[in-house]
Amino acid sequence: LIQNERSIGTACGGMDQSISILGELGKALYIQFNPLTTSPVALPKGYSFVIANSLTESPKLLTLGTRYNKRVVECRLGVEFLLASLQIDNKDGKIKTFLDLQRTLQKSFPEMVELVRLHIEKKPYTREDIQKRLNKDLAEIVKDIPFSDVVLESNTEYFVFERAVHVFEESERVVRFKDLSKAELTEEEVQRLGVLMNESQTSCDQLYDCSSPELNSLIETCRKNGALGARLTGAGWGGCMVCLVKSDRVSEFISNVHREYFENLGSQKELPPQREIYIFSTTPCRGAAIIDGQISL
């Protein structure tokens, strides 16, 4: 599945493909890569996750040069900047990702953020800036990233600091959410889960720059109507968001968000015929599986 998506040009990871196969009934899944491992995460009773589609498209293949694949290039540059500043020998080219670098340095997430702040300036980097700093040809650095040539042709500036800070702080938020989330939580603990989701959205919007005006508007509408936390889900730049809502308020919540966000889109686009297509409550279920028709279920 991952190779198929990469073959058409997207420099994707493997989270969506993995959860679609490895999902567990009633549990979130904490997924790690290199090697691939999963851990079930219990979710708080009495709360639901509501998915809402902003009804704005983000065509991955048409925008990969300026969006999706560009972020992969910018993250690779962050790795290269830190390797150069810390004088780490990477002649074998094995350190390609922030995870590779973090494991090599054996640093915590906050320590990695501090290294970024010390060694990478918060400014747009031009191709000339990058090549001067690294003494390498930019095309050579990113040649193994799918369609990196399209990225280099489509951009004059790269935001390395912002992408690096987002990756390390977001990774820490994921671990904190995993460690906190349990079936039995106090209201205060659930609110902390919501804060982590809201912080994630702010970072996606301001540091990774992968939100959109429509997503931001929908997320703000959800928070105003009682969502404890809300963030985009998927690649971003459109598409869906997910929010945490008290289960006994889901019906009222969906009706209010539909009225305040979706009905106001009426003059701009035609809504799908069934509301459940674009805003609904959901629970985790099993991943895809082969069903033996001869087995009685």
Tell me if 38 sits within 8 A of 23, measured CB to CB. Answer: no
> Which among 16, 144, 149, 179 is annotated as catalytic?
16
Structure tokens at 39: 């851990």
Tell me if 76 sits within 8 A of 98, measured CB to CB. Answer: no
Q: Give the Cα separation of 75 and 96 in Å (integer).
A: 9
Q: Give the Cα separation of 213 and 56 in Å (integer).
A: 10
Q: Give the Cα separation of 233 and 240 in Å (integer).
A: 6
From residue 238, how far is each of 215, 217, 218, 253, 270 by CA, in Å?
6, 11, 11, 21, 17
Known catalytic residue: 16? yes
Amino acid at 26: G
Query: Would you say the C-alpha torsion 81, 86, 87, 88 has a positive or negative sign?
Result: negative
Please report, for the chain, how many H helices and E strands are present, in that order: 13, 6
Q: Which active-site residues does the annotation give?
A: 16
